[in-house]
Structures are given as structure tokens and as C-alpha cells.
Amino acid sequence: MGAYIIRRLLSVVPITLGVLLITFFLFRVLGGNPAYRIAGKNATAARIAQISHERGYDKPLFLNFQDFPRSLLDAQFPRLCAQLARLDFGESLSTKQRVSTMLRQGFVPSLCVTVPLFVIELVLAITFALLAAYFRDTWLDRGLVVVSVMGMSISTLVYIMVAQYWLASEWRLFPVWGFEGPYYLVLPVLIGVVAGVGGSVRFYRTVMLDEMFQEYVRTARAKGVPQQTILFRHVLRNAMIPILTNVIIAIPFLYTGALLLENFFGIPGLGRMTVTALFNGDEDVIFADVFIGSILFVIANVITDVAYTWADPRIRLR
């Protein structure tokens, strides 16, 4: 199993390279030379050339064949990878801050929203899904499904606008904006849960139902095992694999924060930072973001695999 984990963890290299390649392609190749943005409106051609040179934007994009093979890797993309591999995330073009500082400052506020949101949503979703599965094909089940689907048919944007306007501005139940204490997080988290729980209920319900159609459930039922026991002892236990997969895979994305909620409620998190960076063409921030994201993603995948062996002892990792 140790060897397996190491092998899987090594896949971080190709995946991260791939992600960076795509990002690099989008921003540097299609997006053009960032020197223009650095130089600003008042730049002269000479100034742009100078900045390009200093920052290495005048080098070949992917590989350098000029002095083959000595300087093969003296090109923009390999240099970027090397820089990130040293965990040097560079400097934001639009705020002139170290990206590492920005990440450090941003991830706590992001997690303050996404973690409670995620946990509450998960607990609610699994509870409702179990209910629906237990009472399947009754009015309760159908009602839950229809309500869930209705809930997920409204844009998150509308939830936010309506809740912020009425609950916070008009009725003063919550602060409109800010990140001053736990109370400020209640409304964003609440909105996030309401907007997201429908989809989760629908998903986990199908997961539960998948299990309910399995042979062993039929056998257990034939043996006269009570429904509750089947549901909690067998179905939930066996549904752990898809649930775990879904949960652990979602975890790395918690760090990117909730774009909309952060924007509307003034939470100084990474979601807001990333969107701003995107619009300012602030590549260093984007590169750092996807770099960390892809590493977390691979790690989460390995954890999922390990978790499988715990949830289902028949699974062996080789």
C-alpha cells in the first residue's frame, strides 16, 4: 500500500504540469505579453521591450532551441515550472504584493465560509437522502425530490440578492456586509446551504437507492431484517464509498472559496482574489492558484483510495 500511495502521489507531477500548461497557454499564449499590463498606459515600445526582457517574456514559449541543448529549458514555460517548484509564487501584477502573502491572508476567510457550508450541507443532504430512501416512492420521497430539484433550479445569484436585500437590508436580521465575527458568516453560509442542498440531496438519494437495489439488501429483507437496520447498518455503510469519493474530492475546492458569496458579503477570501486576478490578467496569482489546487486534488484522490480500504476491507491497493 505504501508503494501504491507513493506512486499515486507522484502523479501530481504530470497533472500539475498539465494544469499549468493549460493555464499558461490561456494566459501567456492567447492572452499576450503581460509586459503591456505592467507598463501601463504610458509605456513606450522601448519600455515594454525592457520589461519583457527583465521578466523573461521575450524568451521562447515552450522550449529554447537556440543554443541546443544547453539552453533547451531556458524558455518561458520551463522557467515558470521551475519557479513554482521552488514554491516561489512571484508577485501579483495588480497589487504588487507577494502572491504567497495574498494566499496566506485569503485562505482563512475562505475556509470560514466554505467549511461550515460544506459540513452543514453534507449532514443535511445525507439525512434527507436517507429519509427519502427509507420512504422511497411515498409522498415524502417524491416531495423531497421535487423540493430539492426546485431548490436547485433557482440561480445562486437570486438567492443571494433576495436574501441580502430582504433578510439583511430590509428586516435587519443579519449584517449586510462584513467579516467581523461568526455572526457575519451566518447569512452567507445559510444561503450557500439553501442553494446547494437540493443538488446534494438528489445525488445522495440516488446513491442510497443504488445500494437498496443490491442483492444483499434483497436477501436481508427476505430474511426479515428490519428496514431501519438494513438502511443504517447495510445501505449507509456500503454507500460510504460514493459518499467518501464525493466528499473528499470536494475538499480541495473548499480552499478556492465561494466566489459569489465572498463578493456580495465582503469576505476577503481567495475566491474574490482569484476572480479579481482573472480580470486583471494577473497571471502569477492564477498560476499559484491552479498549482496549489492541482496538488491538493491529487492528494485528495489518494486519500479517497485509502479511505476505500477502510470503508470496504475487500479493496486492496496495489
Nearest to 271 by CA among 281, 280, 279, 261: 261
The residue from 4, 5, 9, 36 that contacts another protein (CB under 8 A) is: 36
Do the Cβ atoms of 168 and 175 come closer than 8 Å?
yes
| Region near another protein per CB under 8 A, out of 23-31, 186-194, 215-223, 225-233 | 23-31
**Distance (Å, rounded) from C-alpha 87 to C-alpha 67?**
28
The residue from 6, 82, 150, 173 that contacts another protein (CB under 8 A) is: 150
**Distance (Å, rounded) from C-alpha 245 to C-alpha 46?**
54
Give the nearer residue to another protein in terms of CB position, either 32 or 226. Answer: 32
Give the nearer residue to another protein in terms of CB position, either 123 or 162. Answer: 162
Q: Does 102 bind another protein (CB under 8 A)?
A: yes
The residue from 31, 56, 143, 226 that contacts another protein (CB under 8 A) is: 31
Strands (E) in the chain, as ranges, are none
Q: Does 284 bind another protein (CB under 8 A)?
A: no
Interaction with another protein in 236-255: which residues (CB under 8 A)? Answer: 242, 246, 252-253
The residue from 167, 259, 303, 306 that contacts another protein (CB under 8 A) is: 259
Q: Does 183 bind another protein (CB under 8 A)?
A: no
**Distance (Å, rounded) from C-alpha 308 to C-alpha 316?**
9
How many residues of this chain interact with another protein, rule: CB under 8 A?
91
- The CA-CA-CA angle for residues 273, 277, 279, to 5°, reads 125
- The CA-CA-CA angle for residues 310, 315, 317, to 5°, reads 95
Do the Cβ atoms of 130 and 230 come closer than 8 Å?
no
Q: Which residues pair with 98 in a beta bridge?
A: 91
Interaction with another protein in 215-234: which residues (CB under 8 A)? Answer: none
Which x/- pattern over 262-281 shows residues binding another protein (rule: CB under 8 A)? -xx-x-x---xxxxx-xxxx
